[in-house]
Amino acid sequence: MRIIVLFIFIINLYAQNLQIIKYVTNEKPKIAVEYINLPAQLKNILQKDTTIISHYQIDIKNQINNIKLSFNTNNYSGYNYLLRLNYQKNSLVALLYDLLQHKVVLYKRYKIPSFQVYPFMIHALSYDINNKLGFSNIPWIKRKIIYSIYMAPKEQSIFLADITLTYRKKIISGGLNIFPKWADKAQTSIYYTKLERQPVLYKYNIHTGAKERILTTPGMLIVSDVKKDKLLLTLAVHDQPDIYEYDIHSKALTRLTTFDGIDVNGQFYGDNKIVFISNRLGYPNVYQKDLDTNQVSKLIYYGKNHISVAVNKENVIVSTRETDNEFDNNTFNLLLIKKDSDVVKRLTFNGKNMLPRFSQDGNTVLFIKEYKFNSKLGIIRLNENKIFYFKINRKIQSFDF
């Protein structure tokens, strides 16, 4: 009995100074957010970013007078971090304080040239917060999106946007401008096709507005993929849609497929392979070609009617037509398939889901969903097992990020 009482006494003696730091498996770190000045639009983007990143939670609490840290940490019970923000004249100062470690982990000023590009400023902040909290890198959140929008028959314009489609700017208009594709990692220029007397491929600098005519052929001309100084094109040089490789510097054009049907959507894959869609067996499916040996083989053996594809290492995402209704709505869903295995995961369940695009790290996939004839930009977080949508009130023809 005396031993028990002594034991209880010792526990109580240390209880006040004993802090049990434990992250329950599904509990995300919580950040209390205070601000001197933070417009509603910035709060909105901060909330959206937090939701789609899905690594931590934020709670926008109250307005304060000073960003400096003179406060009682006991006031932030239940929070792991304190974020203080002050926005003034296109400049945002952010201070992120670790309440448990008692140290500043981020103290930075973010500047923008004008208020209209504020979403990019918040995305940069979210990127840094995610990094400082020790989570996997999310460079995709800072990427610019380009997409072409159907405006009227034979009229499509190209827009520049942020990942939430909050910032939108028309950069190319007049006529049929289709299939925009980023020309470089820094996102300074894009390729796009304009349907004039015949299709013409242009390169356009989004900062200077400089436009360069690259190539023209009759029939069809699309940039499917870009890898340094090489482009994969779907061309119809001889009235036949095939995949070609184009060297930007030497201007050499090399035909890579010769099938008499449809070969499209070429993607660079590995060191010296390409992946593409072909209907060489009577229906569209995913194939790969070894450019050293010229061997062509199926990439995946699950299902058929795969009309577009994206690849990242062992992961393959296909847009598969699951209905064949000539007189009714059709369904195209995204499937995630592990190459060389039977593992298949359905990512979407209804509507028309197309144009999957992997982020560089491979954990995030962007795509276009048409549901009841509206377009949405979809963001799939594979590890977090979540999908988010940003709606746009027009039909997106193609996009890149």
Partner 1 sequence: MKKRLLLVAGLLAILTGCGQQPELDVNADQNKTAQQAPAKAQQAAQENNNTQPTETDLTDNTTVKVTEDSMNEDKLNQKLAKDLSNEVIHFDFDKYNIRQDQLPIVEQVANILKDTKGNFTVRIEGNCDEWGSDEYNYALGLKRAKTVKQALIDLGVDANKLTIISYGESNPVCTAHTKECWAKNRRDNFTLLP
Residues engaged in binding partner 1 (CB under 8 A): 150, 153-154, 156, 176, 178-179, 195, 197-199, 218-220, 222, 224, 234, 236, 239-241, 261-265, 277, 284, 307-308, 319, 324, 326-328, 330, 332, 352, 354-355, 373, 397-398
Smallest separation (angstroms) from partner 1 to the CB of 145 = 16
- Write 238-246 long-range contacts (CB < 8 A, 24+): 243/274, 243/276, 246/215
Phi, psi angle pair for 41, to nearest 5°: -65, -40
List, as one string, the DSSP characters of 78-103: T-SEEEEEEEETTEEEEEEEETTTTE
Smallest separation (angstroms) from partner 1 to the CB of 201 = 14
Contacts of residue 39, defined as CB under 8 A and 6 or more positions apart, other chains included, come to 87, 118
The C-alpha torsion from 146 through 150 and 155 to 157, rounded to 10°, is -20
Smallest separation (angstroms) from partner 1 to the CB of 239 = 5
Of 34 and 263, nearer to partner 1 (C-beta) is 263
- The answer to whether the Cα torsion of 227, 231, 305, 177 is positive or negative is positive
Of 79 and 287, nearer to partner 1 (C-beta) is 287
- The answer to whether the Cα torsion of 232, 397, 358, 332 is positive or negative is negative
Of 150 and 389, nearer to partner 1 (C-beta) is 150
Of 39 and 175, nearer to partner 1 (C-beta) is 175
Smallest separation (angstroms) from partner 1 to the CB of 217 = 10
Of 171 and 236, nearer to partner 1 (C-beta) is 236
Of 141 and 309, nearer to partner 1 (C-beta) is 309
Cα–Cα distance, 184 to 195 (Å, whole number) = 23
Cα–Cα distance, 386 to 380 (Å, whole number) = 6
Q: Is 87 left (phi over 0), alpha (psi -120 to 50) or beta?
A: beta
Smallest separation (angstroms) from partner 1 to the CB of 319 = 6
Smallest separation (angstroms) from partner 1 to the CB of 193 = 9
Of 113 and 153, nearer to partner 1 (C-beta) is 153
Smallest separation (angstroms) from partner 1 to the CB of 231 = 14
Of 166 and 193, nearer to partner 1 (C-beta) is 193
- The answer to whether the Cα torsion of 122, 126, 132, 133 is positive or negative is positive
Phi, psi angle pair for 64, to nearest 5°: -130, 175
Half-sphere exposure of 250 (CA within 13 A, CB side): 7
Smallest separation (angstroms) from partner 1 to the CB of 159 = 16
